[in-house]
Amino acid sequence: MIKIPVKQLAVVLLTAAVAVGCATHKVAPTPPKPTGPSAATTQAINDAQAVINGAQAPCMDTGDASALLTQAQQAGQAGDNAKAEQLAAQAKQDAETAINNCYMSHAKDLLAQAQGYTNLNADQQNRLNQGQTDINNNQGKPAYDVLSALVAELQAAKSTYTVVKGDSLWRIAGRSSVYGNALEWPLIFKANADKIKHADLIYPKQDFNVVTNPLKSDVNSATWYARHRGPWKHHKADRRDREWLNGTLTPPASAMPSSGTSSMPAASSAAPAQSAAPAPAASTATAPSASPTPAPSASTQKTPSAGHGGR
């Protein structure tokens, strides 16, 4: 029988115990680090995407927002949530800025257009003021919405006037329900050039279109022409009417008011002279002269009315 010293036996037994312990108690592996975007990152990306997707005509361009959003999505998938959220926030801001700048540009153009119209009623003037306020506050979309609707309304605003016995373009324009200024009679002539052969000759029961909100530039041109047109003698005024209508007869630059103003004197301040004299000086307002033909009844068709183009 082999004798093993006690000391060696103790070492052998201890080594065996350690080996058994290591075999039965393995250390659990460290779980893998989660990948993909966090909930906060996903929300930030969705917020930026909503702004980009919400862009509408005429402001579809969102600048670099789409490229930044793609980078944010890639960072989120890689688990870099801090970078992803930063990129998503930048994408959202860039999109909002680009869209607002676009609307601001359009709104300023629309404001200039709206300010070029005349005869705005109280509601229209309030909306014009609101658009100006929105622009001052850098609110592009609200300004664009209110001003685009206003300009469309002003461009389309028209009414119809039916000629009665004794009417003339001068008298019609002077009515408070029309322009309240007889010197604006050329506006009616221009809007109904297909119906009026001669500005001095209009007829009962004719229906004339009346532009409710003429442009200031058109009003200025019309009143200038009314002052310089002269009487209808030997068809001279008729020829001048056609030249004014087709744009070959225009006011000199010195005769037009400065930008933002409108020359619209009261009708009563300058009544036309009832004569066949040549066109008067600029200081004398003149509408088409009165025809010597007596006025027919309102029921008479295609007979010159007493008023025709003159007063």
One-letter identity of residue 190: K
In the listed set 103, 133, 155, which residue is the last one of a domain according to the structure? 155
Domain tally, the chain: 2
Q: Print pLDDT tens along the chain (311 aa).
A: 555 565 565 555 555 555 545 555 555 666 666 678 999 999 999 999 999 999 999 999 999 999 999 999 999 999 999 999 999 999 999 999 999 999 999 999 999 999 999 999 999 999 999 999 999 999 999 999 999 999 999 999 999 999 999 999 999 999 999 999 999 999 999 999 999 988 988 999 999 999 999 999 999 999 999 999 887 776 677 888 999 999 998 888 876 665 544 444 333 333 333 322 223 333 333 444 333 333 333 333 343 443 445 55
In the listed set 155, 172, 194, which residue is the last one of a domain according to the structure? 155
Taking CA atoms, 309 is separated from 202, 204, 229, 290, in Å, by 7, 13, 11, 7
**Residue 210 and residue 107 share a domain:** no
**Residue 93 and residue 76 share a domain:** yes
Residue 131 lies in a domain: yes
Residue 15 lies in a domain: no
**Residue 178 and residue 115 share a domain:** no
**Residue 101 and residue 68 share a domain:** yes
One-letter identity of residue 210: V
For residue 248, the enclosing domain spans 157-269
**Residue 143 and residue 112 share a domain:** yes
Residue 12 lies in a domain: no
Please state the pTM of the whole predicted model.
Answer: 0.72
Rounded CA-CA distance 33/98 in Å is 38
In the listed set 91, 125, 155, which residue is the last one of a domain according to the structure? 155
Tokens of 233: 């003698």
> For residue 27, what are the β-bridge partners?
none
